[in-house]
């Protein structure tokens, strides 16, 4: 049978993933044009490469349709409510670093912490008659983070585009988004709250706890784990 490995289908994340596996003796490559999703694996028999978007990989791991997948820790924890039940972190890969943060306009000189944000949110609601809006793609993570911090008077508004631009467009008063260099935040005159780091994310190799193994799959999986340097040897 085969072990299915899901990796990002394009861009620098795909290239760095290929390099990471190549350094461990597993050579991944596309076998068609850039518009095709055909791929091949050399260096280990019994592994099938599946090219997916990074956002699809958590779902496929959770469904057990792939055995391993490379994606960001932020995506797994956002998309899978009880992620540790269905997937397992195998290896942090050392690239794709980004932080999920909460940021507010720089002109909010009295707002530096989550407690300040909570106070500002209460004042905002009293003044405007509706809750302070935080634009984000990460509803699950942000809601949980703010609940734990005791921030109450806010509403999350969905942003699937340029989140940092929502404040300028007056569709939100604050943002919660992924940032790597911080340049976009600075360009939009935003500052990260001093305690506003929600999650530090990076590309990570995950194993599905839901994927079934057949016949010689366990042997292939053990060899795969040995080559990528993981000490995890057991199936679910």
SS3 call for 144: helix
- pLDDT one digit per residue (tens) for the chain, 236 residues: 689 999 999 899 999 999 999 999 999 998 765 555 668 899 999 999 999 999 999 999 999 999 999 999 999 999 999 999 999 999 999 999 999 999 999 999 999 999 999 999 999 999 999 999 999 999 999 999 999 999 999 999 998 777 877 888 889 999 999 998 888 899 989 999 999 999 999 999 999 999 999 888 999 999 999 999 865 544 43
Tokens encoding 129: 């008659």
Buried b (16+ CB within 10 A) or exposed e, 75-93: bbbbbbeebeebbbebbeb
Domain identity same for 181 and 140: yes
List the domain range (segments joined by +) for residue 63. 3-97+202-228
Q: Is 235 domain-assigned?
A: no
Q: Which residue has the tokens 């976009």?
A: 184
Q: Is 184 domain-assigned?
A: yes
Tokens encoding 86: 């269905």
Q: What is the CATH number of the domain that holds 114?
A: 3.40.190.10
Handedness of CA 114, 172, 73, 10 (dihedral sign): negative
Q: Is 236 domain-assigned?
A: no
Q: Give the whole-angstrom CA distance, residue 81 versus residue 15.
A: 29
Q: Is 233 domain-assigned?
A: no
Strand partners, 224: none
Domain identity same for 189 and 215: no
Q: Give the whole-angstrom CA distance, residue 116 versus residue 166.
A: 21
- 139-171 confidence digits (pLDDT tens): 999 999 999 999 999 999 998 777 877 888 889
Number of domains in the chain: 2
Tokens encoding 17: 């993933």
Ordered DSSP codes for 93-139: -S---EEEEEEEETT-TT--SHHHHHHHHHHHHHHHSSPEEEEES-H
SS3 call for 173: coil
- 93-118 confidence digits (pLDDT tens): 999 999 999 999 999 999 999 999 99
């Amino acid at each position: 049978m085969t072990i299915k490995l899901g990796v990002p289908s394009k861009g620098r994340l795909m290239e760095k993933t290929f390099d990471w596996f190549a350094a461990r003796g597993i050579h991944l490559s596309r076998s068609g044009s850039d518009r095709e999703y055909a791929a091949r694996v050399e260096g280990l028999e019994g592994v099938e490469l599946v090219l997916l978007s990074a956002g699809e990989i958590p779902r496929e791991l959770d469904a057990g349709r792939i055995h391993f997948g490379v994606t960001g820790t932020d995506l797994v924890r956002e998309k899978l409510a009880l992620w540790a039940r269905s997937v397992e972190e195998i290896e942090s890969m050392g690239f794709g670093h980004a932080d999920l943060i909460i940021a507010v306009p720089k002109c909010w000189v009295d707002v530096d912490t989550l407690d300040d944000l909570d106070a500002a949110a209460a004042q905002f609601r009293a003044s405007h008659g509706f809750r302070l809006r935080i634009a984000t793609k990460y509803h699950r993570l942000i809601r949980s983070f703010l609940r734990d911090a005791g921030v109450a008077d806010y509403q999350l508004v969905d942003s699937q585009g340029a989140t940092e631009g929502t404040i300028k467009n007056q569709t939100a008063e604050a943002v919660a988004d992924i940032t790597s260099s911080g340049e976009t935040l600075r360009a939009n005159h935003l500052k990260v709250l001093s305690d506003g780091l929600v999650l530090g994310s990076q590309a990570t190799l995950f194993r599905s706890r839901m994927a079934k193994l057949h016949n010689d799959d366990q042997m292939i999986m053990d060899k795969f784990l040995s080559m990528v340097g993981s000490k995890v040897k057991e199936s679910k």
